[in-house]
Structure 1
């Protein structure tokens, strides 16, 4: 029994007569879509900013008992607790007040203001990193021997939060809608 085989004519993918073909957007629709995406991105960034600024502030609770304790704690324990609180406050400040920098595709550096806040913004992350390394050493070689003193694992909290904040800032910068403006096309209607 011979089977009948029908041949279909070859068609390029552009020649489809299907109903699922995309309709082109005119200039106003493109502008609305880009504005909607920008608003959505700004809203998400502000949520990230609020949440990840509050987390280090709440985490200062880890170090407060050692500072507020009336027990005779060693000077090193109190010092490292103060450094931990300072590191967490610097991390919260970094997330809230220092805007993430979008890298320039051409490799140009932005012109910077040389005021006091510019210097603070420039040195806060390296200084905070150095404090986190010092707290890491305090974790490896605990300063106190009393059972009332802080647990050495608490010294890792500022480092973990600083790393997570820097990663969140990278995620916030990675969403760049500027190339969408370049992809716009002029609608040539009838």
Structure 2
């Protein structure tokens, strides 16, 4: 059998002045482009992880006075402030230390030996969401008479930041280079 060649469309010589380079990439160029894109994606994900972990940590500064102030604040306000701070810390931990997982297209889950950290990672987001719902209900049903220096609107901050972090994690997962890696082998040997 004769060697297979790719056919190219006929072009007049004056048309080729715009397109002197070839349109396809060889295997090494494909590898280099995919590796470069992966490095850019990893760098951008690390930057997002740092920024979106710092925002909840900085937000705890606004809740500390209601937790640490000695007079004028009731026990329930301190508990809700503590829950808010714990929620913000859990949100920062989620963004920084729990890598976003791409769902398996076939719906399979990896089998692992359970340990404490796996349980923490598995239940931190639902537990944090439950705390945020509780704080939202406290805000809805709180009376207008809040202590001076304390705003019940602060109870909505952990829920809002959790939603922002979850959206950022979803955006980080949405960039998938797997289809591009699968395409590179279609032209192998061409």
Length, aligned pairs only: 176
Structure 2 unaligned spans of 5+? 1-8
Name the TM-score, length of structure 2 as normaliser. Answer: 0.86
Give the structure 2 partner of residue 133 of structure 1: 133
Give the CA deviation at 1:187.
4.1
Distance of aligned partners of 1:111 and 1:15 in 2 relative to their CA distance in 1, 3 Å threshold: farther
Alignment of 1:24-173 (within 5 A): 24-142=24-142, 145-173=145-173
Structure 1 unaligned spans of 5+? 1-13
* CA–CA distance in structure 1, aligned partners of residues 57 and 113 of structure 2: 28
Deviations 1:42-80 (A, max 9, x none): 000000000001110000012111112122311111010
Q: What RMSD over aligned residues (CA atoms) do the two structures have, in Å?
A: 1.8
Structure 1 segments, 4+ long, off by >3 Å, are 14-22
Q: Contact 1:136/1:156 (CA < 8 Å) preserved in 2? A: yes
Give the structure 2 partner of residue 8 of structure 1: none
Name the TM-score, length of structure 1 as normaliser. Answer: 0.86
Q: Contact 2:73/2:147 (CA < 8 Å) preserved in 1? A: no
The DSSP-based 3-state class of the residue aligned with 1:134 is helix
Give the CA deviation at 1:25.
0.5
Give the structure 2 partner of residue 3 of structure 1: none
Q: Contact 1:76/1:144 (CA < 8 Å) preserved in 2? A: no
Q: Contact 1:66/1:150 (CA < 8 Å) preserved in 2? A: yes
Distance of aligned partners of 1:146 and 1:23 in 2 relative to their CA distance in 1, 3 Å threshold: closer
